[in-house]
């Protein structure tokens, strides 16, 4: 055998560790990113076999061109009213993020995560789904709730963990959950929602329901085993599910190369699993809408799952606990070749003659006011750290449907402790 002799003359092996293209102090230059012209990518029939479309996993579905015109076969041809609603939901989400970010800085809550630059990913997709399709989001899809006209006060109550928080102050801020809003409880353990969405979709199919499931994860979390488990199950059972990978380039400080993004696209993973895969301009609301609509139609007609990679950019830090200036070039967001999703949709409406800068400014003002009013209302219900908002007993409730003896005993211990501390906390 070749290795039977001692290897003294062989060159030593080297471990390759990927590096992002730019670090702090570098000038960002994205000229190497292939951005195909809008309208160029073909649109197969929704009934087409996944095997006929591997090219779409390596391309980039784009609808809005540089002049703000909608072009090509993916143009969803939405009426101006829908476009304006979508624009408003995106603007409202940005205003909401700004307000809540500031609230965290003011010490009103522990933590916040903005979705700035990624608003189209959640909102345009939600517009293409039905209201009762079950969404299994990650933590940057607050736009789903806002697109579904969910109460901002209710969302803020959760962020503040106050007495009106529907989750009883048990979840980190931004980990919303509402069954009525078809918005599944967010987990901090990443990508766990992926197989759950597939299971929900399988159940819907098994019961002969018409609702489908959609799920989102970051490109970083797509390295988790759960992502791959979900792909296997989705493919094997042809589950009516849309699996979105939000490739915003950064998983906290790790660039997409650490999730395998240097070697191939995230959409291309679909090819290996036998799933339809689309790579989409995630800053193009019409492209996101069109791709979701296409995938939803496949799912609803028993053509199986679709994996959609949304190629986008995380314009802000990972969270309020993160300082992106420590690990990436300062001008990346400004240099991002796909622009800002809100500006692009706004320009489209202007190009259609259905919108103008004054109306945009007016709408932005209204959104800021709406958010401000909601925040004041939510703050009346309390903010995090200002006392214990929930009765102490709630800590032990809903671990199980019925409280077993050991929890009852521990609850009594806690109540005794509270009494010994002169009943400082609220109890039932």
Partner 1 sequence: MSRDDNATTQRNMIQAINSAMDVAMERDDNVCVFGEDVGYYGGVFRATAGLQEKYGKTRSFDTPINECGIIGVAVGMAAYGMRPVAEIQFADYIYPGLDQLVSEAARLRYRSAGEFTAPLTIRTPFGGGIFGGQTHSQSPESIFTHICGVKTVIPSTPYDAKGLLIAAIEDPDPVVFFEPKRIYNGPFDGHYDTPVEPWSKHPASDVPDGHYVIPLGKANVLREGSAVTMLCYGTMVHVTMAAVEQLGIDAEVIDLRSLLPLDIETIEESIRKTGRCVVVHEATRTSGFGAELAALVQERCFYHLEAPIQRVTGYDTPYPHSLEWAYFPGPVRLRLAIERVMEDVSGEV
Contact map string, positions 119 to 158, toward partner 1, x by CB under 8 A: ---------------x-x----------------------
Q: How many residues bind partner 1 (CB under 8 A)?
A: 44
Binding of residue 72 to partner 1 (CB under 8 A): no
Who contacts 232 (Cβ-Cβ below 8 Å, separation ≥6)?
273
Half-sphere exposure (Cβ direction) of 235: Cα atoms closer than 13 Å: 19
Q: Is 229 in the site for partner 1 (CB under 8 A)?
A: yes
- For residue 177, the minimal CB distance to partner 1 (Å) is 4
Residue found under tokens 């102490």: 392
Annotate 207-228 with DSSP letters as a single string.
TT----EEEEEETTGGGSHHHH
**Which of these is catalytic: 88, 314, 328, 348?**
314
If the CB atoms of residues 77 and 207 are measured against partner 1, the closer one turns out to be 207
CA geometry: angle 369, 371, 373, nearest 5 deg: 70
Pick the binder of partner 1 from 7, 77, 179, 428 (CB under 8 A): 179
Q: Specify the DSSP class assigned to residue 186.
A: P
| Residue 177, CA distances (Å) to 76, 171, 188, 272, 390 in order | 30, 9, 13, 33, 18
Q: Which residue has the tokens 């949709």?
A: 345
Between 47 and 236, whose beta carbon lies closer to partner 1?
Answer: 236
**Residue number, 59 or 181, with CB nearest to partner 1:** 181
Cβ proximity to partner 1, 184 vs 289, nearer residue: 184
The structure tokens 């079950």 sit at: 134
Answer yes or no: 327 catalytic: yes
Catalytic, 406? Answer: no
Q: Does the footprint of partner 1 cover residue 236 (CB under 8 A)? A: yes
Q: What minimum distance in Å lies between the beta carbon of 414 and partner 1?
A: 15
Catalytic: 428?
A: no
How far apart are alpha carbons 156 and 141 in whole angstroms?
Answer: 15
Residues 395-414 that bind partner 1 (CB under 8 A): 398-401, 404-406
d(CA 316, CA 314): 6
- Residue 330 binding partner 1, by CB under 8 A: no
201 is a site residue for partner 1 (CB under 8 A): yes
Regarding 423 and contact with partner 1 (CB under 8 A), the answer is no
Buried b (16+ CB within 10 A) or exposed e, 376-392: eebbeebbbeeebbbeb
What is the C-alpha separation between 309 and 217, in angstroms, rounded?
A: 10
* 184 counts as binding partner 1 under rule CB under 8 A: yes
Among 230, 291, 338, 342, binds partner 1 (CB under 8 A): 230
Is residue 61 at the binding interface for partner 1, with CB under 8 A as the rule?
no
Integer Cα distance of 199 and 218 in angstroms: 20
| By CB under 8 A, residue 192 contacts partner 1 | yes
Residue number, 141 or 196, with CB nearest to partner 1: 196
Alpha carbon 33 to chain centroid, angstroms: 23
Active-site residue identified among 58, 170, 327, 359: 327
Cβ 289 to partner 1, closest distance in Å? 25
Of 43 and 170, the one with the shorter C-beta distance to partner 1 is 170
How crowded is residue 88: how many other Cβ atoms within 10 Å of its Cβ?
Answer: 18
DSSP three-state, residue 62: coil
Nearer of residues 197 and 296 to partner 1, judged by Cβ:
197
Region of 43-51, 163-171, 359-367, 376-384 interacting with partner 1 (CB under 8 A): 163-171
Kindly tell me which of 12 and 188 has the beta carbon lying closer to partner 1: 188
Q: Look up tokens 């009213």; give the residue.
A: 81
List the one residue from 11, 207, 263, 428 that touches partner 1 (CB under 8 A).
Answer: 207
Q: Rg (Cα) of the chain, in Å, rounded? A: 24
Residue 170 is a binding residue for partner 1 (CB under 8 A): yes
- Give me the sign of the Cα torsion angle 128, 131, 132, 134: positive
| Sheet arrangement for strand 306-311 | 134-136, 213-218, 241-247, 306-311, 276-281
Question: Which of the following is catalytic: 318, 328, 344, 389?
Answer: 318
Q: How far is the CB of 159 from partner 1 (least distance, A)?
A: 15
> Which residues sit at the interface with partner 1, rule CB under 8 A?
134, 136, 166-168, 170-171, 175, 177-179, 184-185, 187, 189, 192, 194-204, 206-207, 213, 225-226, 229-230, 232-233, 236, 398-401, 404-406
Catalytic residue positions, numbered: 314, 318, 327
């Amino acid at each position: 055998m070749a290795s039977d002799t001692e290897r003294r003359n062989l060159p030593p092996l080297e471990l390759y560790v990927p590096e992002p293209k730019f670090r702090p102090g570098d000038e960002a230059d994205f000229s190497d990113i292939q951005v195909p012209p809008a309208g160029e990518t073909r649109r197969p029939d929704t009934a087409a076999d996944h095997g006929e479309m591997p090219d779409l996993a390596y391309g980039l579905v784009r609808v809005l061109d540089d002049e703000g015109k909608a072009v090509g076969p993916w143009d969803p041809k939405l009426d101006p009213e829908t476009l304006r609603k979508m624009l408003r939901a995106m603007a409202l989400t940005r205003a909401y993020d700004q307000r809540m970010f500031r609230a965290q800085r003011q010490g009103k809550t522990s933590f916040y995560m903005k979705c700035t630059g990624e608003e189209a990913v959640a909102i345009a997709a939600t517009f293409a789904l039905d209201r009762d399709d079950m969404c299994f989001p990650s933590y940057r899809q607050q736009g789903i709730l806002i697109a579904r006209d969910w109460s901002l006060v209710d969302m803020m109550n959760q962020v503040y963990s106050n007495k009106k928080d529907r989750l009883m102050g048990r979840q980190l801020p931004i980990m919303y959950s509402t069954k009525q809003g078809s918005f599944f409880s967010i987990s901090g353990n990443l990508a766990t929602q992926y197989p759950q969405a597939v299971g929900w979709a399988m159940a819907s199919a098994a019961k002969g329901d018409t609702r489908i499931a959609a799920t989102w994860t970051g490109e970083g979390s797509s390295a988790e085993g759960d992502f791959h488990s979900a792909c296997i199950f989705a493919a094997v059972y042809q589950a009516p599910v849309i699996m979105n990978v939000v490739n915003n380039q950064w998983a906290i400080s790790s660039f997409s190369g650490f999730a395998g993004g240097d070697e191939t696209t995230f959409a291309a993973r679909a090819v290996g699993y036998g799933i339809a895969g689309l790579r989409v301009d995630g800053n193009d609301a019409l492209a996101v809408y069109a791709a979701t609509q296409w995938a939803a139609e496949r799912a609803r007609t028993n053509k199986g799952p679709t994996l959609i990679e949304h190629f986008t950019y995380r314009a802000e830090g990972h969270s309020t606990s993160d300082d992106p200036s420590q690990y990436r070039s300062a001008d990346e967001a400004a240099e991002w070749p796909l622009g800002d999703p809100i500006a692009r949709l706004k320009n489209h409406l202007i190009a259609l003659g259905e919108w103008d800068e004054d109306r945009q400014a007016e709408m932005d003002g209204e959104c800021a006011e709406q958010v401000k009013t909601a925040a004041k209302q939510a703050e009346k219900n309390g903010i995090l750290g200002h006392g214990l908002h929930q009765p102490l007993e709630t800590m032990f409730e809903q671990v199980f449907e019925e409280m077993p003896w050991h929890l009852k005993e521990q609850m009594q211990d806690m109540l005794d402790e509270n009494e010994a501390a002169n009943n400082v906390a609220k109890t039932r």
